[in-house]
Amino acid sequence: MVLTAESVFKVFGTGDGSAGAASSNASPNASTNKALAKAMALAHDGVDRAEIQKRTGALIAVRDVSFTVSEGESFVVMGLSGSGKSTLIRCLARLVEPSAGTVTMWGRNVLELDDDELRQLRRHRISMVFQHFGLFPHRTVVDNVAYGLEVQGVDKDQRRSRAIGWGDHYPQQLSGGMQQRVGLARALAVEPDILFFDEPFSALDPLIRREMQDELLELQERQRRTIVFITHDFDEALRLADRIAIMKDGAFEQVGSAAEILMSPATPYVEAFTREAPKAKILTAADAVDRTSGDGSQRSSSAPVASVATLEEVLPRLLASREPLAVTGDDDEVIGVLRHEKVAELLGQGPNGIG
């Protein structure tokens, strides 16, 4: 695995709400450590975030989070405001120090790196794209794009040649979409192994946001970068992710593919997001196929559909006939059939919604 997080916690705050003010004889560090230890213990016991804060004055921003990311995977963390998702990604890059746990990249615990090793990691192997662009207003577009190379020590002529084509405009002369393109170009210029995105498109207009998502998908198709992407938009998560983590109150509610989350939400909180999701655009024939075999049960007079076709693509044909549709796999062999009842169930249409 390229990236592994194990039992990561981040706790903010110091007081001890259950015992009142700290003793005047206790040092600040002792008081802080006491509050941290108590908050962690309560978290391990399953006490909710609000109650922990009430008892200790400490906020559990990230709570016992564990996950892995494979090379070339797009791993999207989706959560509402205050869920802890931005704190989590900052813990991964050690922009914020975790209170407990480990973060491993390429077999090395990032939390054990000294300052120089951490700088080298950030300069050469990881890049981050922020929500509010993070561009230098006094630098031209070319110099913003080339900044990471400058930090690496690349000479001026070489870094400008790699960043050329972005013009001599300044950030304030660009639209929001163009500014974020510059931010993405700056992150890519150093050719990182891992890209961290912290809600990079949330400040953009819907149309520009969609265009930026398209560009990221095209980039992944060409380069297969390892990506950890933070968003509060469930539709964006469904569109961009190989796997999605749904985050609430600092903890992961569920981790899985878009299809797994849409078809089998683990908690009522996750299910609430799936109700209005565009399931027909995400789920495929493979997700709905009936693989039951039998004498002729998988045959249909209609031409078969590919297992990778979305339900949106096959619905017109399914609705046009009372017969099930045969589904073929990668080798063009029939692997099962699509039945009206199963598709209606997956799409939440009820027994009379299809066919």
Cβ-contact 123, 190 below 8 angstroms: yes
Cβ-contact 337, 289 below 8 angstroms: yes
Find residue 284's DSSP bridge partners: 310
Rounded to two decimals, what is the model's pTM?
0.81
Question: What's the confidence (pLDDT) of residue 26?
Answer: 41
Query: What's the rounded Cα separation, in Å, for the pair 284 and 282?
Result: 6
Q: Which domains does the chain have, with CATH numbers?
A: 3-8+65-125+192-277 (3.40.50.300), 280-346 (3.90.1280.20)
pLDDT digits (tens, 9 = 90+) for 182-216: 767 777 777 889 999 999 888 788 888 898 899 89
pLDDT digits (tens, 9 = 90+) for 263-302: 999 999 999 999 889 999 999 999 999 987 544 445 566 7
Question: What's the confidence (pLDDT) of residue 212?
Answer: 86
113 pLDDT tier (thresholds 50, 70, 90): very high
The CA R_g of the chain, rounded to the nearest whole Å, is 24
Question: What's the confidence (pLDDT) of residue 133?
Answer: 52
Closest CA to 120 of 148, 142, 144, 139: 148
| Higher per-residue confidence, 6 vs 36 | 6
How high does pLDDT run on average in the chain?
A: 83
Range 315-332 average pLDDT = 91
Find residue 9's DSSP bridge partners: 100
Question: What's the confidence (pLDDT) of residue 201?
Answer: 87
Closest CA to 89 of 62, 112, 55: 62
* CB-CB neighbours of 213 under 10 Å: 18
Closest CA to 312 of 339, 266, 343: 343
Q: Inform me whether the pLDDT recorded for 93 exceeds 90.
A: yes
Q: Which of 48-57, 114-123, 140-149 has the lowest mean pLDDT?
A: 140-149
| Higher per-residue confidence, 323 vs 104 | 104
352 pLDDT tier (thresholds 50, 70, 90): very low
Quote the percentage of the chain above a pLDDT of 90.
59
**String of b and e for 160-175 (b: at least 16 CB within 10 Å)?**
bebbeebeeebbeebe
Question: What's the confidence (pLDDT) of residue 149?
Answer: 62
* CB-CB neighbours of 33 under 10 Å: 13
Q: Inform me whether the pLDDT recorded for 59 exceeds 50.
A: yes
3-state SS string for the chain: CCEEEEEEEEEECCCECCCECCCCCCCHHHHHHHHHHHHHHHHHCCCCHHHHHHHHCCEEEEEEEEEEECCCCEEEEEECCCCCHHHHHHHHCCCCCCCEEEEEECCEEHHHCCHHHHHHHHHHCEEEECCCCCCCCCCCHHHHHCHHHHHHCCCHHHHHHHHCCCCCCCHHHCCHHHHHHHHHHHHHHCCCCEEEEECCCCCCCHHHHHHHHHHHHHHHHHHCCEEEEEECCHHHHHHHCCEEEEEECCEEEEEECHHHHHHCCCCHHHHHHHCCCCHHHHCEHHHHCECCCCCCCCCCCCCCEECCCEHHHHHHHHHCCCCCEEEECCCCCEEEEECHHHHHHHCCCCCCCCC
Question: What's the confidence (pLDDT) of residue 302?
Answer: 75
Closest CA to 145 of 165, 123, 119, 117: 165
* CB-CB neighbours of 66 under 10 Å: 13
Tokens of 343: 């598709």
Q: Where does residue 50 rank: exposed (0-12), middle (13-18), buried (19+ CB within 10 A)? A: exposed
351 pLDDT tier (thresholds 50, 70, 90): very low
Cβ-contact 334, 348 below 8 angstroms: no
Q: Where does residue 216 rank: exposed (0-12), middle (13-18), buried (19+ CB within 10 A)? A: buried
Q: Which of 14-23, 97-106, 124-133, 161-170 has the lowest mean pLDDT?
A: 14-23
| Higher per-residue confidence, 208 vs 104 | 104
Amino acid identity at 215: E
Q: What angle do CA 220, 227, 107 make, to 5 degrees?
A: 125
Q: Inform me whether the pLDDT recorded for 156 exceeds 80.
A: no
Question: What's the confidence (pLDDT) of residue 111?
Answer: 96
